[in-house]
Amino acid sequence: MPEDERTGECVIALDVGGTGMKGALLDRRLRPLTAVRRATPRTVGPDAVVAEISAVVLELAQAATDGGLTVRRAGVVVPGVVDEELARAVYSANLGWRDLPLADLLEDRTALPVVLGHDVRAGGAAEWLLGAARGARDVLFVAIGTGIAAAAVSDGRPLRARGYAGELGHLVVDPAGAPCSCGGRGCLETVASAAAIAAAYTARSGRPVSGAEEVATLLAGGDTDAQAVWDRATDALAAALASATTMLAPELIVLGGGLAEAGELLLGPVRKRLAERLTFQRRPDVVGADLGDEAGCLGAGLYAWRGACDLSARSGGDDPGTWSL
């Protein structure tokens, strides 16, 4: 279809995180036509989260109608274990879902065709095609926020394993550590997620903080409690990345998510501690994400446009490298 016949088309892209949702109407060049942010009501329960997702999709659909745009598809990406072929949210420790036919539920509530994907794999696809990992064939994209998860590309193809691949946040880094929401103990998420860093600082110092961003600010100012918490988190992250490097041999590790906004405060110690742990392994470069916290939303848009082009009607598919936008 010629470009001038497509100008009235868009997709809805929605990235659902454990804390917040980022949504947008995106044109075929993935340019945002409008954008919204909403809190994720996970403390109210999984049904409330589904209801809020539906409400945001409908809000964006109305914005498209008001702007004279045709919505081709909605792309919704969520955390946890996502079976993209069956369009089901299999499990989410943070949102409380188990074997949920999420795409069908959203289609029933919004009357729109919905493509379901995994938030971190979507973010990884966006970084691979559009951002820091362009041109690389072996990549590990790690998103560090409310939780921690990874997306791997090996020999130019993403690894999915029916949705179970990439759960880096549930590698055990401290067998005697704190209980994890997944049912395990001492998982990486309990030490190095943004929420864990903030909680650890408060417990150590007795001074509440608003989040990991504030801990990073205190660290930059020379706070010794912040330094101790940060050291523990970056050491745990390096240990998990060393295991992933041994198994997957990435040439490039891209750190994204909210915590990566700390830049070299995070990247520097992780690079150093990872290098200290490697011996014979391929040594990856460790860089920050280019797309920031928009990566997941852009990835959701990629999934939606791919579905609209009938390359894959209901799933994120196997190879983002084949997408034609």
Tens digits of per-residue pLDDT, 88-133? 999 887 788 899 999 999 999 999 999 999 999 999 999 999 999 9
Position 169 in a domain: yes
Q: Which domain holds residue 184?
A: 133-289
Q: Report the chain's mean pLDDT, rounded to a whole number.
A: 90
For the chain, what is the domain count? 2
Q: Give me the CATH number covering residue 247.
A: 3.30.420.40
Asked if residue 57 and residue 11 are part of one domain, the reply reads yes
| Same domain assignment for residues 265 and 150 | yes
235 part of a folded domain: yes
For the chain, the first-to-last Cα distance in angstroms comes to 11
Query: Is there a single domain that holds both residue 159 and residue 202?
Result: yes
Residue 128 lies in a domain: no
User: 208 in a domain, yes or no?
Assistant: yes
Distance CA 163, CA 154 (A): 16
Note whether 69 and 179 are same-domain residues.
no
Quick check: is 127 in a domain?
A: no
| Residue 201 maps to a domain | yes
Q: Distance (Å, rounded) from C-alpha 298 to C-alpha 301?
A: 5
**Burial track 74-92 (b if 16+ CB lie within 10 A, e otherwise):** bbbbbbbbbbbbbbbbbbb
What angle is formed at CA 77 by the lines to CA 66 and CA 165, rounded to 5 degrees?
A: 165
CB 286 within 8 A of CB 142: no
Produce one character per residue of 215-250: b if its CB has 16 or more CB atoms within 10 Å, e if not: bbebbeeebebbeebbebbbbbbbbbbbebbeebeb
Q: Is 235 found in the same domain as 212?
A: yes
Each residue of 65-89: pLDDT tens digit? 999 999 999 999 998 889 988 899 9
Q: Verify that 157 and 284 share a domain, yes or no.
A: yes
- Residues 13 and 117 both lie in one domain: yes
Instruction: Report d(CA 304, CA 313) in Å as an integer.
Output: 9
Whether 280 and 300 map to the same domain: the answer is no
pLDDT of residue 308: 85
In the chain, the percentage of residues whose pLDDT exceeds 70 is 93
pLDDT at 2: 40
Distance of CA 219 to the CA centre of its chain: 25
Q: For position 93, what pLDDT does the model report?
A: 79
Check whether residue 72 and residue 101 sit in a common domain.
yes
Same domain, 271 and 314: no
pLDDT digits (tens, 9 = 90+) for 131-182: 999 999 999 999 998 889 999 999 999 888 888 889 999 999 999 999 998 8
